[in-house]
Amino acid sequence: MRNLLAMLSLATLAVACAPETDLSEIDAASGTVPVLAASPDQKIKIVGSSTVAPFSTTVAEQFGAISKFPTPIVETTGTGGGFKAFCQGIGPDEPSISNASRRVKPSEIELCRKAGVTQIVEIKIGYDGIVLANAKGAPEMDLTKEEIFRALAEELPDGKGGWMKNPNQTWKDVADHLPDMPILVSGPPPTSGTRDAFAELAMEGGAEEIPELAALKEEDKDLFAKKATTIRNDGKWIDSGENDTAIVQTLMKNPDSIGIMGYSFLEQNMDRLKGAHVGGTDPTFDQIASGAYGISRSMFFYVKKQNVSLVPGIEGYVSEFTQEDAWGPTGYLVEKGLIPLSAEEREAEREHALALVPMSAEGQGS
């Protein structure tokens, strides 16, 4: 008995003195991770874009129903917030997947790298349009990108070589053909990928149509980007959180209000909302898929490859998301508003996704 107690004491001491594994010191070249026991009940944690969240949630529910793994947890944090959480480190308690309505930025890749997250797999899932929507009974809107910029920019050229605070109070102030309706736009906050894409595609695109700003772009690209993407803060634009559902509710309460959201939210609320024409083009499935609609973008999710051995089911989730019955033209995600990649793109992306090919340090697929 005395010998048994001594052995147990030595075993306890050995465990207590064992060094802790520093996950930030993982070999970046090999992507190897410490051998940690993976609990079969550990759930995949997914964070990020509110636009991608409905697709991710639908796949998660399907995956949980048909596989032996628990249903993944999907948290809406916005694209920027998702990358911030995703890049905190490696381990079963850290997010394994980050949804994004834009491509990851070099600064975010660097943030991941500093925390030891060096094996990131980028998977392009489809397309989405950014729409300016209002209530069914509200006035029709037919906008150009220049008119969008003139309505929402913080400053406009004053015609004398300088700048002035945006004076436009109504849409009719922007252009005579627009309704005499106060400018009141509910949109996503700066952490949102939808906000980033709207700023790049709509605001910068509109600024380029103004001669003074087109000239500024040639002279000083940084100043142009600042002037083109800084949205007014005088109450005409209201940050409405990361959840597009809140914007839909705002539009229902105020028929004068316009909301900036992903096409999938418009598609799911067609009984209550309508989308503005942009450049004479409707924000429809076909127009976005063809590239004719001028405010459209790609959507992605990113996988932390170093978590694959730590969280059961990640490979199965990736396989479920990228199979034809999910993301194909007749798949269940199309019913949620996903605009599919072409057949060739889907084949290439699925092959890349199943192989879990990580991005290079520069942010390109290797």
DSSP code per residue over 154-205: SEEE-SSSSEEE----BHHHH-TTS-S-B--EEE--TT-HHHHHHIIIIIIH
- Examine the domain organization and report whether 173 and 259 are in the same domain: yes
Bridge partners (DSSP) listed for residue 238: 186
- DSSP per-residue codes, 320-362: HHTSHHHHSTTSTTGGGT-BPPPHHHHHHHHHHHHTTPPB-TT
Task: For residues 183 and 266, state if they share a domain.
Answer: yes
Asked if the structure places residue 160 within a domain, the reply is yes
Q: Are residue 40 and residue 88 in the same domain, yes or no? A: yes
pLDDT tens string, the chain, 366 residues long: the values are 444 444 444 444 443 443 333 443 444 444 444 445 567 789 999 999 988 999 999 999 999 999 999 999 999 999 999 999 999 999 999 999 999 999 999 999 999 999 999 999 999 999 989 999 999 999 999 999 999 999 999 999 999 999 999 999 999 999 999 999 999 999 988 888 889 999 999 999 999 999 999 999 999 999 999 999 999 999 999 988 766 778 888 888 898 999 998 898 898 899 999 999 999 999 999 999 888 999 998 999 999 999 999 999 999 999 999 999 999 999 999 988 899 999 999 999 999 999 999 998 655 544
Query: What does the alpha-carbon distance between residue 84 and residue 79 come to, in Å, rounded to a whole number?
Result: 9
Q: What pLDDT score was predicted for residue 242?
A: 65
Pair (96, 167) in one structural domain: no
Nearest CA-CA partner of 168 in 194, 196, 149: 149
On whether residue 179 sits in a domain, the answer given is yes
Q: Are strands 237-239 and 277-278 parallel, antiparallel or unpaired?
A: unpaired
Residue 276 identity: A
pTM for this one? 0.76
- Residues 67 and 55: their CA atoms lie apart, in Å, by 18
Give the pairing of strands 258-262 and 185-187: parallel
Tokens of 319: 């396989």
pLDDT at 362: 58
Residues 148 and 103 in one domain: no
In a domain, 11, yes or no: no
Which of 280, 297, 314 is the last residue in one of the domains? 297
Strands 142-143 and 273-275: unpaired
How far, in Å, CA of 206 to CA of 213, rounded?
Answer: 9
Among residues 266, 297, 328, which one ends one of the domains? 297
Q: Are residues 196 and 303 in the same domain?
A: no
With a CB cutoff of 8 Å and minimum separation 6, the contacts of 119 are 31, 304, 305, 306, 358
Does residue 121 sit in the same domain as residue 163? no
Token code pair at residue 107: 């600064």
CB-based burial label for 25 (10 Å; 0-12, 13-18, 19+): exposed
In a domain, 48, yes or no: yes
**pLDDT, position 21:** 37
Residue with tokens 């394994």: 96
What number of CA atoms fall less than 13 Å from residue 100's CA on the CB side?
A: 24
For residue 365, being part of any structural domain is answered with no
Helices (H), the chain: 2-17, 53-66, 79-86, 106-114, 145-152, 171-174, 193-198, 205-207, 211-219, 221-229, 244-253, 263-268, 285-290, 314-321, 324-327, 343-354
Residue 113 and residue 58 in one domain: yes
If asked whether residues 330 and 209 sit together in one domain, one would say: no
Residues 164 and 290 in one domain: yes
The residue segments making up the domain with residue 216 are: 129-297
Q: How far apart are CA 210 and CA 174, in angstroms?
A: 13
Query: What tokens does 63 get?
Result: 């995956």
Tell me the C-alpha distance between 38 and 244, whole Å: 35
Q: How many domains does the chain contain in total?
A: 2
CATH code of the domain in which 262 resides: 3.40.190.10
Q: Which residues of 87-101 are buried (b: 16+ CB within 10 A; e: fewer)?
A: bbbbbbebbbbbbbb
Residue 265 lies in a domain: yes
CB 80 within 8 A of CB 192: yes
361 is a domain residue? no
Q: Alpha-carbon distance 123 to 318, whole Å?
A: 9
CA dihedral for 45, 46, 47, 53, sign (positive or negative): negative
Q: Are residues 293 and 305 in the same domain?
A: no
Question: What are the structure tokens assigned to 237, written together?
Answer: 């634009």
- Same domain, yes or no: 59 and 164: no
Q: Does 13 fall in a domain? A: no
Last residue of a domain, one of 297, 315, 346: 297
Place of tokens 């628990």: 70
